[in-house]
Amino acid sequence: MDQDIKFYSRPSVPVELHKVRVVQKLHLKSVDERLRAIREGGFNTFLLNTKDIFLDMLTDSGTNAMSDNQIASMLQADDAYSGSQSFYRMEEALREVFGKHYVLPVHQGRAAENVISQVFVNEGDVIPMNYHFTTTKAHMEINGGTVLEIYTDEALKIKSTNPFKGNMDIQRLKDVIAEYGVEHVPFIRMEASTNLIGGQPYSMQNMKDVKAIADEHGIMIVLDASLIGENAYFIKKREAAYKDVSIKEILNEMCAMSDIVYFSSRKVSSTRGGGIVTDSEELMLKMRDLIPLYEGFMTYGGMSVREIEAMAVGLRETLDETVIGQSPAFIEYAVNELDDMGIPVVMPAGALGCHIDAKQFLPHVSQLDYSAGALAAALFIVSGCRGMERGTISMDRDADGNDVASDMELLRLAFPRRVFTLSQTNFLLDRLKWLHENREIIGGLKFVEEPAVLRFFMGRLDAVSDWPEKLVAKFKADFGDSL
Ligand SMILES: *Cc1c(COP(=O)(O)O)cnc(C)c1O
């Protein structure tokens, strides 16, 4: 926010700097109905139906609130297969926000990854990055590349005071370039607000250091800008040299150091869609032919013109600190409250959501009994809030069929931008507090139907004992008839 809001009598509380003008009714079902729903969904929150969910914190992808101006812009959309004015308005917005001239539209973030990987990644290549994202890694590997994660020692620590856990380790970057040879490094990928390690940003100084090495070796930088607004916000808040620099200037500077910038509009501008931008005509021409092949004509790229209009408006709104600062303010509030309650949560607060450490929350449940998955199911039973398991269930078995314990065993609670209120956030925190006090009741899960690939999406599990019934009994003893 431009200025922090001070209260006379309360510790820092985030304030919604928007008003609610269109609402959607939510349902909070009884604890018995929630238990039935999670059983029917195979104890997998992906398989829940939203009619049974109170607060849907599964993801921030395609679930953010749109502004009045975004919705209004959809009415002026120009339906045309080619030459649509909607596209040119979006192109202008992208030039302004990212400071790059050429724009290739795609239907969502992973489509940009497909195009970039097909064009630039060859068999035997390695791609250094601060951390991978699921779809990014899959596209690079399909094209014969290997992802190298060059994060710092701080990155995987649950509780840290390091403001930039998304930084790349500069010495290790130099080492891998020396080890594999420049010819096998098609580009270095930087991901803004690294999604899978807790929405953690990198600093501008780190990007400058990466850029210096890239220039020294003539290697391109590709920036995944899906969560760039929040990364820019954290640079302004946490990096002293940028205290008085506008979000727009910070975004422009981040992009100026990148040869190619791509993004998922499902995150950054609250609509569907995505794009690739660059200042290099040569790079643009290498990628351009794949757009009509996979996405659609150059002036829509698989998006509807209405989404394109809303995207242009949403991108410009990212430049407004009071808009882009909302979600980080709520997440920071929730993370600090959880920490005060003694609940283990990834710190410092980042973008996207709160990440609760199931290893510490449920020390009596082994990772191979899927502690983060069990915690996600338990939270749903006691609150109707749906989170996402980001732990061992999200890993697939190794070549010998063994389960692989993940580095981090997290329950992620996403905060879709401007969707939930402070009282809803407090409801979530209250239920987490109760769950933490009753954590010894929670037991593990086991697979009953296990897909071989990406099992976390469609896999079905069951509780290893009657712990869900015991949890419900304790809930009723404490809450009575209350939902
Ligand atoms: C969501 C996301 C993607 C993929 O975008 P989709 O629109 O879901 O295809 C890529 N990178 C990052 C960092 C993301 O958060």
**Same domain? 310 vs 398:** no
Rounded to the nearest 5 percent, the helix, strand and coil shares of the chain are: 45, 15, 40
pTM of the predicted model, to two decimals? 0.95
Task: Quote the number of domains for the chain.
Answer: 2
Residues marked active site are found at: 81, 133-134, 224, 267, 390, 456
Task: Output the pLDDT for position 338.
Answer: 98
With CA atoms as reference, report the closest residue to 194 among 152, 236, 161: 152
Closest CA to 339 of 433, 431, 428: 433
Same domain, residue pair 300 and 381: no
| Residue 224 sits in the same domain as residue 173 | yes
Same structural domain, 238 and 333: no
Q: Are both 109 and 255 inside the same structural domain?
A: yes
Query: pLDDT by residue for the chain (483 residues), tens digit each?
Result: 555 778 888 878 899 999 999 999 999 999 999 999 999 999 999 999 999 999 999 999 999 999 999 999 999 999 999 999 999 999 999 999 999 999 999 999 999 999 999 999 999 999 999 999 988 999 999 999 999 999 999 999 999 999 999 999 999 999 999 999 999 999 999 999 999 899 999 999 999 999 999 999 999 999 999 999 999 999 999 999 999 999 999 999 999 999 999 999 999 887 889 999 999 999 999 999 999 999 999 999 999 999 999 999 999 999 999 999 999 999 999 999 999 999 999 999 999 999 999 999 999 999 999 999 999 999 999 999 999 999 999 988 888 999 999 989 999 999 999 999 999 999 999 999 999 999 999 999 999 999 988 899 999 999 999 999 999 999 999 999 899
What is the number of the ligand 1 atom nearest to the C-alpha of 194? Answer: 13
Pocket of ligand 1, candidates 226, 262, 454: which has the most ligand atoms within 8 Å of its Cβ, to mutate? 226
- Tell whether 27 and 141 lie within a shared domain: no
Considering the domain architecture, whether residues 312 and 424 belong to the same structural domain is answered as no
- Does ligand 1 lie within 6 Å of residue 231's CB atom? no
- Say if residues 193 and 228 touch (Cβ distance below 8 Å): yes
8 Å CB contact between 128 and 176: yes
- The CATH number of whichever domain residue 305 belongs to comes to 3.40.640.10
- At a CB cut-off of 8 Å and minimum separation 6, what does 272 contact? 62, 107, 108, 265, 266, 303, 304, 307
Task: Name the 3-class secondary structure at 403.
Answer: coil
Residues 300 and 164 in one domain: yes
Q: Is any ligand 1 atom within 6 A of the Cβ of residue 302?
A: no
Pocket of ligand 1 contains residue 63 by CB under 6 Å: no
| Per-residue confidence (pLDDT) for residue 276, from 0 to 100 | 98
pLDDT on residue 2: 52
Give the DSSP letter string of 214-228. HHHHT-EEEEE-TTH
Within-domain flag for 41: yes
Same domain, 246 and 218: yes
The pLDDT value recorded for residue 395 is 85
Distance between Cα 275 and ligand 1 center (Å): 11
Determine the residue of 58, 60, 61, 390 to mutate for testing ligand 1's pocket, defined as the one with the most ligand atoms within 8 A of the Cβ atom.
61
266 CB near ligand 1 (under 6 Å):
yes
Q: Distance (Å, rounded) from C-alpha 418 to C-alpha 426?
A: 15
Q: How far is ligand 1, taken at its centre, from the CA of residue 136, in Å?
A: 8
Give the pLDDT score at 3. 57
Residue 80 sits in which domain range?
A: 68-318
Residue with CA closest to ligand 1 atom 5: 109
Q: Specify whether 311 is located in the same domain as 360.
A: no
Q: Is the peptide bond before 201 cis (omega within 30 degrees of 0)?
A: no
Domain assignment present for residue 433? The answer is: yes
Please say which residue of 288, 318, 348 terminates a domain: 318
CA of 58 to the centre of ligand 1 (A): 14
> Does 435 map to a domain?
yes
State the Cα–Cα distance between residues 312 and 88, nearest whole angstrom. Answer: 9
- H-state helical runs in 403-454: 422-437
From ligand 1's centre to the CA of 207, what distance in Å? Answer: 20
Which amino acid residue places its CA nearest to atom 3 of ligand 1? 109
